[in-house]
Structure 1
Amino acid sequence: MMNKLVLAFFMLLTLCLYKAQDTLQQENNLSHSISEPPALSAKVPFLKKEWVQKSIAPTLLFTASATTWGERKNIRDIRNRYLPDFKASFDDYLQYAPAATVYGLKLAGIKGRNNIGRVTLSYATSLAIMGIIVNSVKYTSKVERPDASAKNSFPSGHAAMAFANASFLHKEYGLVNPAYSIGGYGAATLTGLGRNLNNRHWMPDILAGAGVGIISTELGYFFIDKFYKNKGDNLSLLSRIESNGYPSFLSIKVGSALATTNFLKESELDNRKQVGFDAGLEGAYFFSKKWGIGGDLSFSSFPIKPQRLTLDDEEHYENFDITTQSLGFLNFGLGPYFSHEFAKNWEVMLKATGGYSIPASGKIFVKSEHIGTPDNQLELATYKPSKAFRLNLGSAITYKFNPELGITAYAEYNQIKSTMNYHFSDLVKDDEEMNEVFNTSFAKEKVRYITIGLRLTAYF
């Protein structure tokens, strides 16, 4: 266990040094990349490819998170033994320090990678990606915090924010002076350490959050660089990149999710088809101009409207509202993609993917003015959909602003075969009339829905 604890802290404390080394490597290659643009046909060793090198730190962090998962309570016990009363709020503020440094340097007139307008676009895009990833996983995994205050522990939002901001500082000023990178990642490391010492997060939460933060900033810059068609306003610091000519892409998507079936028909907790939202990331690598392999990571959520229940007998007549927490699905998929450019700047794409859906569990409440609790409600039951296979069929049409960036309208069909398991509280079990109304312990629900929306698509 101690080996895993050492590994966890080692990952955080040395990340800033890794990034500083990465910066020095970029400086060493800078003159070559500007004066001699790489030929499209030149073969680059796999480990030296840009996307591989950018993936090293997040991959190590995610690996460390998985490695320490089984020991998270033992790690917490060490904290409780030596610093049981530790409480400090520096982590609430330190997470923003690297981003504040970027804007401070910009306002002071110190030139970095980009001008302030482009900096803000890159930063906003990074935070949007981070928000989608963190909240999708948080409210699907529902891991309880170590202080038992809530079930939204994994991954750490503070760590994700801190490392996204540190990567932001590294992107803008790492090439000016590696000390900026060291300072930024050092502040992020202290933020993550603070979340653990304050007993607000398990160590795996912090490691995973750090990985999400770094990836989010890399993706944010990836999209905005495509929009501007170069790697920075100040090209004396950075080199240009070119597309390989195939429709390989990475995209951010958001849209509406329209159910074609009532997800809660069998349990009678809803009498209508649900309408929700869909958001996530999607990408594909094409081996030719027509065919490729790709997949998506998306989160779909469906709010459930309260239902009115009336209990009527000789002794009393009473109305209750039955409130069901929203249904959520974290989806992964992989499969073939087909692309066809049918006109200048216009492209149509088809896909068929299969994968896995991880639903979020939730609670069901009964609410009435006659219930003697502060919020006039009691927990009626909990529901837990089973993990299941997900089929996803989709089509999309893209208008390209330039060879590297486009806006995409998409429509997809999703099908998930999930069994809904219910665990009723003593309130139902001990009440004969409610027992007759709520007598389902499980139901095979048909989860089928269509998503329509827009993607911001970057080609590489």
Structure 2
Amino acid sequence: MQIVKLHLNYTFPYLFLFLFCFAFNSRAQYVNRPPVLSQQSGLSVQDSIDPTNLKKPFFQTNAVKIGFVPVLFFTASALTWDDREKIRETRNRYIPTFDNHYDNYLQYVPAASVYALNLAGVKGRNNLKRASISYAASIGIMAILVNSIKYTAKVERPDGSNNNSFPSGHSANAFMNATFLHKEYGELSPMYSISGYTMSTFTALGRELNNRHWISDVLAGAGIGILSTQLAYFFVDKFYKNDGDHVNEYKFKDPLERPSYLSLKMGYAWASRNLVENFDIGIHSKTGFEMGLEGAYYFNNHWGIGSDFSFVSFPISTENVSTVDPDLGTSSSSLVTESIGALNFTVGPHFTHHIAEKWLVQAKLGAGVSAGATGKLSLKIPNVDDDDNYLNNEFDILVYKPATAFKINTGLSFTYMLNSELGLTAYSDYNYSKPNFTYTLMDYGQDMDNPTQKIFKEKDDLSYIAAGLRITAFF
């Protein structure tokens, strides 16, 4: 049975890691500031700034600051290796003809932004000369790592064009440039970091959508890009014997004064009905999953307007359908199903209230559209030809497609603040839509090569409840 299976460990995990690497790196920048000591501490100011008197926490050591996020990307790349073809099948099902090469250009925008800001007089971490030295070092490290692996691993691209797919050079370059922007301007405003990593994420996604790379390629490339810039800055800072030309010159506001946020979510989804009950052949829809991107801009500390872009998929189970051959007493055929899924977009008011020191409660109401994906039900029949070759003949029985429809969603969530910019959110949403389904029934009659089609439509409920977790970055 072929169904679309996307798990947290291998379904576009770089979308979730982008927020983590932003938040982790942004917090790591502050550890070089002198600690504030009370009079009761018993330490003099001179003692407090003596590195020999300070033992850094594990997550503030140089090795962890440089390598922790890249290691997460490399781990995700390894976890997706065996499932990369399944993920590409999902791409081929929903957007098989996607062909847009924005990724060739978007990868350079974060680095170009650093130079544009410098030339515009916006003071960053370093002056232009030192920033350029760090950037050149990043390029050198990245090029050595990417090319040495590419032409050693020799992994074939998904489009079959050549054998230098792993790792993705575009993704490495994009995340290297995003980390360059983050290093230079992340302390000035977290929006620079969010913008840079967002662009690098969409560059990596574009490599998959254009069928140029496997998901494991772009994850490894992202890790290499971040690692390259981290190493370059580490060595350049050692050479200059400080952490930057203009470090500790910025003032920060509390991001929760107006809790605008960007979050990435994943959760389970429960349909309000058996989505294939009208097939009347004993199959049923199972618990599905939802993943997506959600954000809001706040006008004050309570009210804002936000949007939600998500994908939901419900696998179809055939476990109660018998395919036993009554003459042979063995299974001679099997049903093949594709999940029922939809892309959703809504926009509407959002409300946030600070209920405790580290806890927020959020509510939302949105309206928009839901666009369904085409699915099918097929019969796979094993066969042996005249030359005793084993064949699998698959015949489509039914094709189903939910039409684009009006959608409403509402939800409640609770966020625990991990630090001043990053939160972990538990959410529960109700989603309502009732699209027209188009069903195409295949009647093979006496001609298996030219079946006749019977098309009928009916309005069916595609409402569901979703619950899961979000990684939420406030800015």
Please, what TM-score do these two structures have when normalized by structure 2?
0.52
Say whether 1:458 aligns with 2:442: no
Output one character per residue of 1:328-366: Cα deviation in whole Å (capped at 9) or x when no partner.
111111011111112211111111111111111122111
Alpha-carbon distance in structure 2 between the residues aligned to 1:154 and 1:326: 20
Matched residues, number: 311
Picking from 449, 453, 457, the partner of 1:442 is 457
Say whether 1:374 aligns with 2:387: no
Is this contact kept in 1: 2:103–2:170, CA < 8 A? no
Cα distance change, pair 94–256 in 1 and its aligned pair in 2 (3 A): closer
C-alpha deviation, 1:253, in angstroms: 0.6
C-alpha deviation, 1:130, in angstroms: 4.5
Name the stretch that deviates more: 284-293 or 159-168.
Answer: 159-168
C-alpha deviation, 1:258, in angstroms: 1.3
Alpha-carbon distance in structure 2 between the residues aligned to 1:391 and 1:423: 28
C-alpha deviation, 1:321, in angstroms: 3.8
Is this contact kept in 1: 2:398–2:441, CA < 8 A? yes
Alpha-carbon distance in structure 2 between the residues aligned to 1:311 and 1:17: 58
Output one character per residue of 1:190-214: Cα deviation in whole Å (capped at 9) or x when no partner.
xxxxxxxxxxxxxxxxxxxxxxxxx
Q: Which amino acid aligns with 2:417?
A: K
Is this contact kept in 2: 1:126–1:164, CA < 8 A? no
Which residue of the partner structure matches residue 272 of structure 2? 260
Which residue of the partner structure matches residue 172 of structure 2? 99
Q: Alignment partner of 1:158: what SS?
A: coil
Cα distance change, pair 133–241 in 1 and its aligned pair in 2 (3 A): farther
Cα distance change, pair 420–90 in 1 and its aligned pair in 2 (3 A): same
Is this contact kept in 2: 1:319–1:368, CA < 8 A? yes
Alpha-carbon distance in structure 1 between the residues aligned to 2:332 and 2:278: 22
Q: Which amino acid aligns with 1:387?
A: T
Matches within 5 A, 1:112-191: 113=183, 130=201, 134=205, 154-156=209-211, 158=213, 169=225, 173=229
Q: Alignment partner of 1:380: what SS?
A: strand
Say whether 1:24 aligns with 2:97: no
Which residue of the partner structure matches residue 191 of structure 1? none
C-alpha deviation, 1:407, in angstroms: 0.7
Rg larger in 1 or in 2?
2
Say whether 1:420 aligns with 2:420: no
Is this contact kept in 2: 1:309–1:320, CA < 8 A? no
Q: Which amino acid aligns with 2:402?
A: P
Is this contact kept in 2: 1:132–1:280, CA < 8 A? no
Is this contact kept in 2: 1:339–1:350, CA < 8 A? yes
Picking from 401, 412, 415, the partner of 1:398 is 415
Q: Which amino acid aligns with 1:341?
A: H
Say whether 1:385 aligns with 2:402: yes
Alpha-carbon distance in structure 2 between the residues aligned to 1:256 and 1:274: 11
Q: Alignment partner of 1:425: what SS?
A: strand
Is this contact kept in 2: 1:113–1:237, CA < 8 A? no
Picking from 323, 328, 349, the partner of 1:336 is 349
Q: Alignment partner of 1:25: what SS?
A: helix
Q: Alignment partner of 2:213: what SS?
A: helix
Cα distance change, pair 352–15 in 1 and its aligned pair in 2 (3 A): closer
Name the stretch that deviates more: 391-400 or 11-20.
Answer: 11-20
Q: Which amino acid aligns with 2:301?
A: K
Is this contact kept in 2: 1:262–1:446, CA < 8 A? no
Output one character per residue of 1:363-405: Cα deviation in whole Å (capped at 9) or x when no partner.
2111345797722532223222211111111100111122311
Flag structure 1 segments of 5+ consecutive residues without an equivalent: 1-7, 36-85, 115-121, 139-152, 178-232
Say whether 1:250 aligns with 2:262: yes
Output one character per residue of 1:15-67: Cα deviation in whole Å (capped at 9) or x when no partner.
677655422234446874569xxxxxxxxxxxxxxxxxxxxxxxxxxxxxxxx
Cα distance change, pair 350–368 in 1 and its aligned pair in 2 (3 A): same
Alpha-carbon distance in structure 2 between the residues aligned to 1:401 and 1:346: 10
Alpha-carbon distance in structure 2 between the residues aligned to 1:247 and 1:429: 65
- Counting aligned pairs with the same residue, the percent is 29
Alpha-carbon distance in structure 1 between the residues aligned to 2:302 and 2:219: 38
Is this contact kept in 1: 2:104–2:170, CA < 8 A? no
Is this contact kept in 1: 2:383–2:391, CA < 8 A? no
Q: Alignment partner of 1:374: what SS?
A: strand
Which residue of the partner structure matches residue 148 of structure 2? none
Alpha-carbon distance in structure 1 between the residues aligned to 2:405 and 2:446: 29
Is this contact kept in 2: 1:133–1:280, CA < 8 A? no
